[in-house]
A and B are shown apart, each in its own frame.
Chain A
Amino acid sequence: MIGQIWATERTRSGRDDEPDDATVLKRSRHDPEAFAVLFQRHAGQLLRYVGRRIGPEAAEDVLADTFLEAFRQRHRYDHSRPDARPWLYGIATNRMGRYRRTELKQLRATERTGTDPVLEAFTERSDARVSAGALGRRLAGALARLPRGHRDALLLVAWADMTYEEAAEALGVPVGTVRSRISRARRRLREEFGGVDPRAAEKGLVNE
């Protein structure tokens, strides 16, 4: 199993020669161990997403909790949805709730110090990779000031590579709500940079 995971990682279900997630989940009703396929497909990317948000230590707990919860709830899965990612990320989003303060604390620390504690935890050293730079600092601060629902929607799209429809499914809200939240979130981020292209701001092309 270790070798398998080491060697393979899938980010999306639906390859022609493999059953989609819905089929795997249906099979796991009678064969619980079939659920492992879902883990192999999505665990890596889910851990990376959650890790980016709350750091590697807490992310591993959220990952485990997410898949255990999904396993327990697999009988309720809507099999008309072939891709289980939105379902899994929705569970993970809920599970991250208890780490909300951790996430905000890390974002504010990035804004204040210019060092990203999340990346620092991953790399275990301080170098250019964990330096947020002026742009990153302001962005982190802006993220921290977003309402929780807006931040969840925005980051599902930006960091989990979800479509608006998938993010809506994950959050259990209408897609129009996600559009609205992301629109407002982006506007807030833009305002942090004086309403201009953040790259221009970073290059000093805009007076602060």
Chain B
Amino acid sequence: MNEIEVLREMRANVPVPGPEELMGAQERLRAASAAESGRVATLAPGRWWLPRPAVRVAVAAAAVGVVAVGAVVAAGGGVPVSGKDGAGSAVVAEQPPNLQLVAAAQATGRTSFKLTVSPSDQSARAVQEGAYDPVAKRGFLAWTDQHGNRIEQRVIGSDLYLIASVDGRPSQARKVTGSGRGFRISGVPAGGTLDDGERVLTGVDGALSVDPDKVLEILAEAGTVEKAGSSGGVATYTFRYVLESLSEQTMVGTVEVRSGKVSKLTYALAGHPLSETVMVFSDYGTPVDVERPAV
């Protein structure tokens, strides 16, 4: 009789992890070691919907940016309020910058777009290009790694696929396993340590679409947003957001809003200029035609 042997049979059907299942931890470790060696490379290529804080930074930034950008739309600049003289003459006051960002985020989250993600340190991270439809919940980001391998992450509804051509072999698709993995645009521990606000900002509950009430709450309580100016139809905002889930690190950045939608988002971890990343949103309404790969 050997209980150990019987126990080992319980382990037998647990598969050996694939590379995508190690990527989250690997990127967090890479960020930590790069930061300590003074060569910060916080955000991983193509990881914007995979778990973990490094990605969370990007997405939080994106969400804030998204949240931020659309604002001006509604705004047109302002909302009617009563004159304090009580004379009944309405005056128009510009919405606070954070509310403008909320509106922009919501507007961006209601349409498809192309997306380019460019790190400042391109020796460590690749430029990623893709498209995403937050309504249909379909999209992809693709990049070429330093070994010349083309990597794509594809989202179909609640499913996430990793498609890679490694070392010259034909592309292989693999569905990321695990219940609830689905469409997670950012990293949230399975233990659910993020509060509701962070869940909104990181897009966990619905990609780039955000709950207006929660976003307002977040921006009002945690984020600092200022309008830097407007020129040529582009409104620019600066923001600071404390990432409680990332050891209280502060994310700083700027958001450009054009026609009420986020057009460009630049963000970095405060004190880590090499972590700067630029996300460009374009081609709003573009068809996002991705198919479920054979696995």
Contacts and interface: CB of A to CB of B under 8 A. Distances in A.
Contacts of A168: none
Contacts of B177: 56, 121-124
Interface string B147-174: 1010100000000000010110000000
A44 interface: yes
Contact of B23 (A2, A48, A120): A2
Contact of A1 (B6, B24, B146): B146
B87 interface: no
B174 to A, nearest CB: 10
Contact of B17 (A51, A129, A196): A51
Interface stretch (A16-24, A63-71, A76-84, A170-178): A63-71
B37 A61 contact: no
Interface string A157-190: 1110000000000000000000000000010011
Nearest to B23: A2
A140 B253 CA distance: 50
B33 A1 contact: no
Interface residues of A, number: 62
Given A56-B178, A60-B25, A2 B166 contact: yes
A64 B28 contact: yes
A61 B245 CA distance: 13
Interface in B251-278: none
29 contacts: A1-B26, A2-B149, A3-B147, A5-B19, A6-B18, A28-B33, A32-B34, A39-B29, A47-B17, A47-B25, A51-B14, A52-B10, A57-B180, A60-B178, A64-B24, A67-B28, A68-B28, A68-B29, A71-B32, A121-B177, A122-B13, A122-B15, A123-B13, A123-B177, A132-B10, A154-B7, A157-B4, A189-B3, A190-B3
Given A7-B166, A32-B36, A139-B6, 9 more contacts: A33-B30, A33-B37, A48-B15, A60-B21, A64-B24, A67-B25, A124-B177, A159-B10, A198-B1
Interface of A: 1-7, 9, 28, 31-33, 35-36, 39, 43-44, 47-48, 51-52, 55-58, 60-61, 63-64, 67-68, 71-72, 98-99, 116, 118-124, 129-130, 132, 135-136, 139-140, 154-155, 157-159, 186, 189-190, 196-199
Among all A-B residue pairs, the 4 with the closest Cβ atoms:
A64-B25, A57-B190, A158-B7, A32-B33
Interface of B: 1, 3-4, 6-11, 13-19, 21-26, 28-30, 32-34, 36-37, 51-52, 145-147, 149, 151, 164, 166-167, 175, 177-181, 189-191
